[in-house]
């Protein structure tokens, strides 16, 4: 069969958006499809890794040969990731909501005739990548993504440091790129050594290249 350079390596990948409840029927979300994260999980499994995918709510199928754990909220995603440490490699691709509603309602919020709209008070979500990057059980290789609409490289470099990551995969998610929710991606690989710009590729191809890069770094 195909060579399995990552046989015996444990990997956690996060993917998709998170949904942060406002009340039992409403939530805050983003446009992430999970395509890139799921493709990375599949590509790593193809190289023989033992992959757990922690996915937010997506409409795409679970990848083959990958244990997939489904969560909704950032806090659930953090718990699902941390409880599975130690692992060798963590690839945090999920578009985690930065904020959640400070106290989501237990019942559906009713529109009251003549009353002002309810204010939405937000509070900060835990940063999963940053937590993993600074954890006492930190994986040997910690990889994050940086979805930006401006100053992609500068923001990516800052994230490398702040989040304790070894690599940041930075992409421009400005609406005109069609990347967020789309099938193609154009990324820059940012490490302490510098920046490598990849051409525009299918998300599956980005995943395969990244899996090969990961395998070369651990091999």
Q: Which of 125, 171, 185, 215 binds ligand C5P (CB under 6 A)?
A: 125
Q: Is 170 in the site for ligand C5P (CB under 6 A)?
A: no
Q: Is 74 in the site for ligand C5P (CB under 6 A)?
A: yes
Find the binding residues for ligand C5P in span 2-21 (CB under 6 A): 14
Nearer to ligand C5P, 37 or 63 (CB): 37
Torsions phi, psi of 35, nearest 5?
-60, -45
Torsions phi, psi of 142, nearest 5?
-120, 120
Q: Which of 144, 179, 185, 215 binds ligand C5P (CB under 6 A)?
A: 144
Q: Is 127 in the site for ligand C5P (CB under 6 A)?
A: yes
140 is in an annotated binding site: no
Q: Is 90 in the site for ligand C5P (CB under 6 A)?
A: no
Question: Which residues are known catalytic residues?
Answer: 30
161 φ/ψ sector (left φ>0, alpha ψ -120 to 50, else beta): alpha
Q: Which of 53, 80, 90, 94 binds ligand C5P (CB under 6 A)?
A: 94
How is 40-77 classified by DSSP, letter by letter?
HHHHHHHTT-EEEEEE-S-SSPPPTTSEEEE--SHHHH
- At 160, is the secondary structure helix, strand, or coil? helix
143 is in an annotated binding site: no
Give the max Cα distance, the chain. 69
Binding-site annotation, residues:
98, 108, 126-129, 145, 159, 163
Residues that bind ligand C5P (CB under 6 A): 14, 74, 92-94, 96, 125-129, 144-146, 159
């Amino acid at each position: 069969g195909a060579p399995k350079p990552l046989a015996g390596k444990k990997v956690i990948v996060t993917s998709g958006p998170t949904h942060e409840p406002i009340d039992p029927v409403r939530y805050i979300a983003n446009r992430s499809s999970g395509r890139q994260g799921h493709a990375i999980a599949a590509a790593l499994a193809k190289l023989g890794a033992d992959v757990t995918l922690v996915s937010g709510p997506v409409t795409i199928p679970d990848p083959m040969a990958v244990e997939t754990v489904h969560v909704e909220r950032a806090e659930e995603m953090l718990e699902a990731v941390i409880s599975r440490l130690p692992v060798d490699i963590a690839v945090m691709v999920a578009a985690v909501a930065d904020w959640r509603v400070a106290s989501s309602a237990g019942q559906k919020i009713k529109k009251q005739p003549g009353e002002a709209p309810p204010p939405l008070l937000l509070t900060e979500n835990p940063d999963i990548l940053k937590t993993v990057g600074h954890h006492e059980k930190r994986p040997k290789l910690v990889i994050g993504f940086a979805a930006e609409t401006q100053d992609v490289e500068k923001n990516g470099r800052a994230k490398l440091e702040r989040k304790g990551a070894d690599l940041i995969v930075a992409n421009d998610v400005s609406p005109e790129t069609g990347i967020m929710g789309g099938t193609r991606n154009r990324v820059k690989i940012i490490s302490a050594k510098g920046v490598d710009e990849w051409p525009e590729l299918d998300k599956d191809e980005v995943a395969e290249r990244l899996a090969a890069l990961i395998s070369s770094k651990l091999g």
